[in-house]
Structure 1
Amino acid sequence: MNLLWQQFTLSNLPLQQWQTASYLHRIVGLLRQWRQSSWLMQWAEPLGALLVSLVFGLAPFVSNDLIKVLLLACAGFWVLLTVSDDIKTKATPIHWLVLLYWGIATVATALSPVKADAFSGWLKLTSYLLLFALSARILRSPRLRSLIVTIYLHAALIVSVYGVRQWFDGVEPLATWNDPTSTQATATRVYSYLGNPNLLAGYLLPALILSIMAAFTWRGRIPKALAAIMVAVNGACMAFTGSRGGWIATTVALIALVVLLRYWWAQYLPHFWRKWSIAIFVGSFATLLLAAIVVSEPIRDRVFSIFAGRNDSSNNFRQNVWAAVFEMIRDRPIIGIGPGNEAFNKIYPLYQRPRFTALSAYSVLLEIAVETGLIGLSCFIWLLVVTFNQAWLQLQRLRQTGSSEAFWLIGAIASMAGMLAHGAVDTVWYRPEINTVWWLMVALVASYYVASTSPVKNSYQYLSARENIGL
């Protein structure tokens, strides 16, 4: 059974054997001689880090057109690095699933009923996936990894500070984000530089989790104090968004974070804390949440609206959109309509309920099923399984060495779990500011990859890890 799991998750993928037999891989290194003589390419890794840093440092503050230019530069630089590479291969099982998903999206584009619009979406998807490829390569350096995460955290801090200021200023909404018939119709919801509270919550979630990890990773009192400030400001801004999806995502991410930290420190904890730490945290968190619901009427109304069904206008809107989306999937279940919001906007009006126009499916999984069919959805789920499995394997490896670099990996895992929870009820992470962060988290996981050579050892580590967590 363990062997089947390893085959399914590509845990023992024979990359070296493939490399020696593949004609495709011969493209790698075609310009090796030029790179060795090039002064500029001696700084290839720092230049790549600069491009990636510009994406995450500027994304919340600049137009989407400039982000596209930066993504194009990242894509071109990755191609240049690949064809001039002097190292055998840096591909991981995650890379292969990303490549497969891209291939399925390419087929969906070719077979789309609105090919021109789907091609535009395909270009966007390709740019994001190439950003992942470049980031996964650059982040292999612990120094550059810390640098890029730090730049993202500082950009997010600026976004959060502006959002908190909006709360105290009582900023006016840019759209009708609250149910106009509810007691929260006039409640303040901050949106900072992103222009929408839900988008802001999706952007801040990884920043909140990674800032917690920064408190463990950064050395010195001043950096740790800065990390604590980031946690407080990001957390406050997340609360002020009033985003129910963001709150759900934060809860999921924090629980995942505690489980992973409990595993990391299991060998140092007394027996009592090994057994009860997770239960104590969940109980304490639930108590605090219950207290907030009892004391604060705005929080109480916002939380209860999650369970209001169609009595809440936002819930009712999503359910009507989902009903139309299910019909779209039913009519093109195999390969979908093609990627991108432009293709969706051309096809959705044929299925929409009266007065319920939408720009997306309001669910990541449904959006993927619409765009690339059940084949694409299956591949994406496979990608998630492989990514989390690789993250788990590398966390076990780092635990044996006690490397503090594991905290960024833990943060990436928890952030992905939270973003998926948010994505179940919204599609905010299709916006460039958030989609780039999603692929940064995936790249963080991929950057830790070290090929496994012992299936028996993997099986033993897996069982031992379950015992340490208490499963």
Structure 2
Amino acid sequence: MSLMTAAAVKYANLEKYVYWLLLATIAVIPLQQEVSSAMVAVTGFSGFIVAFLRRHEKRKPVLPRFVQILLWLLLLLGYWSLHNSADEVLSTYNFIYVVGQYALLVWLILHYAVDKKTSAASDLDLHKWHEWPRPLQIISVFLGMSLFVSVYGIVQHFTGVVPTEAWVDNDAFPELKTRVISTLVNPNILGGYLVLVISLITGLLSTSKEKMWQLVLGSGILIAGLCLLYTYSRGNWVALAVGLLLFCVCFCRRALLPLIGIGILGMWFARGAVWHRIISIFGTEDTSVALRFAYLESTLFIIKEHPWGVGWYGYQFIYPEYDFYLNNPDVIMYHCHNLLLNITAELGWHGLAVFLLLWFCIIWKAAELARFGKSRWLQGFGRGYLMASAGILVGGLTDHVYFNMQMGLLFWLFAILIMVCSEFNRKLTKA
């Protein structure tokens, strides 16, 4: 064996170790923010070393040039917006800490989640996980860890050890005793996470033909769905319902009427806090709904007077000037409870335009996978991502759970993984 061949083998093994670190990083993202940050840093540092050692090897770009430009443009707009912040130092620190992790994870996915295989079976052997394509291994690790998160949340509900004072209006919902948070920060963030989980599993289940897979995936949906119920997160209930309806219309129309029937029966037999939470969506009696309308009104004024944005992480500094509802300068509001308005408020209309164009490109690739995927799991992942995107948009009307760094990491993880799978599918097509 020549020296060059031996070096190539050694570096290939090092590359595999970084990939294992990446899998471990993805597993801990929903568990604890500081630990996930440390794992992203360690994996990124290791990845840079191996990439430097393998710098002479040719790599074909995974992302289309236009998507690359949009990613860099969004990054530059975020950096440029720092000058608009009322506290530029704190905004800069947060930008480096948060966006730095997003960028590092994107780089790691593009370098270490790409599979060199040019074939993929439609039916995957449960006992040969090591032979699965890397993108599917990543999805499986994420969904496997979601089982722990969901079960832990269900246990919290029955043990009643979770404080609810911060998230429940006791006057409006006296019967609501516990809202679970599992390993995440609050019930709404957990709800957004579970909508993502259920969407991905639903997509994979819809294309699976193997009975064992159907049982495993179906069980995952039931467990995650039960945990989502116990979050009592109304916005995420609606997000999941809309996502499921759109999914059935696009990919499984036979299930549309049964789904509507189950939904009607579920609401009919719902009792206590569940039914009360559902009907409260249409009113403003509780402080949570009233506050959200106040936040949205304030944000519209902020956007009107600051069309170029108030800077990354700058919403909290400008909000007291527009706090017409509470009128309390001691109340810190880190974000607007609306995904798209929050982006507009901080990055300006131009930042929103770039973000939406970038996300549209990713959704387009997901749609291509859903329709033209050469393997059933590719089709299922594409379908699941489309359903998750609908859930993100609908849930984002009343909350901005992706402000949370763990959720932000997951957003970029699956967005870039769609692009990796699109390239993988292109190789399968050529082969």
Normalization by structure 2: what TM-score? 0.83
Amino acid at match of 1:424: L
2:41 is matched with 72
2:69 is matched with 96
* Matches of 1:73 and 1:190, distance apart in 2: 31
* Matches of 2:155 and 2:424, distance apart in 1: 47
93-102 vs 195-204, which moves further: 93-102
* Matches of 2:112 and 2:246, distance apart in 1: 26
Count of aligned residue pairs for this structure pair: 398
CA distance 1:35–1:206, shift in 2 (3 Å): farther
Alignment of 1:7-18 (within 5 A): none
* Matches of 2:366 and 2:38, distance apart in 1: 31
SS at match of 1:173: coil
2:251 is matched with 261
Q: 1:193 aligns with which of 183, 192, 215?
A: 183
Mapped pair 1:380 → 2:355:
yes
Q: 1:87 aligns with which of 59, 84, 91?
A: 59
SS at match of 1:191: coil
RMSD (CA atoms): 2.9
1:268 is matched with none
CA distance 1:282–1:222, shift in 2 (3 Å): closer
Q: 2:140 aligns with which of 143, 150, 154?
A: 150
> Do the aligned partners of 1:109 and 1:115 also contact (CA within 8 Å) in 2?
yes
- The superposition leaves residues 36-90 of structure 1 with CA deviations (integer Å, 9 ceiling, x where unpaired) of 936653135533432332222112333x222222222344455556662512322
- The superposition leaves residues 86-137 of structure 1 with CA deviations (integer Å, 9 ceiling, x where unpaired) of 1232222433322221111111124433221221232112321331232244
Q: 1:162 aligns with which of 152, 163, 167?
A: 152
Mapped pair 1:55 → 2:34:
no
1:300 is matched with 275
* Matches of 2:281 and 2:5, distance apart in 1: 56
* Matches of 2:6 and 2:245, distance apart in 1: 48
1:350 is matched with 321
Cα offset, 1:321, TM superposition? 1.7
Cα offset, 1:393, TM superposition? 2.9
* Matches of 1:76 and 1:420, distance apart in 2: 34
Give the % identical residues.
22
SS at match of 1:192: coil
Alignment of 1:309-348 (within 5 A): 310-334=284-308, 336-340=309-313, 343-348=314-319
SS at match of 1:311: coil
1:229 is matched with 219
**Structure 2 unaligned blocks of 5 or more:** 116-131, 427-431
* Matches of 2:318 and 2:10, distance apart in 1: 47
> Do the aligned partners of 2:81 and 2:346 also contact (CA within 8 Å) in 1?
yes
* Matches of 1:81 and 1:255, distance apart in 2: 45
Mapped pair 1:244 → 2:244:
no
Q: 1:412 aligns with which of 366, 385, 398?
A: 385
> Do the aligned partners of 1:170 and 1:188 also contact (CA within 8 Å) in 2?
yes
Mapped pair 1:438 → 2:411:
yes
Cα offset, 1:375, TM superposition? 0.9
Mapped pair 1:120 → 2:93:
yes
CA distance 1:39–1:187, shift in 2 (3 Å): same
Cα offset, 1:217, TM superposition? 6.6
Alignment of 1:280-299 (within 5 A): 281-297=255-271, 298-299=273-274
Cα offset, 1:157, TM superposition? 0.4
SS at match of 2:350: helix
> Do the aligned partners of 1:114 and 1:337 also contact (CA within 8 Å) in 2?
no
Cα offset, 1:378, TM superposition? 1.0
* Matches of 2:207 and 2:10, distance apart in 1: 32
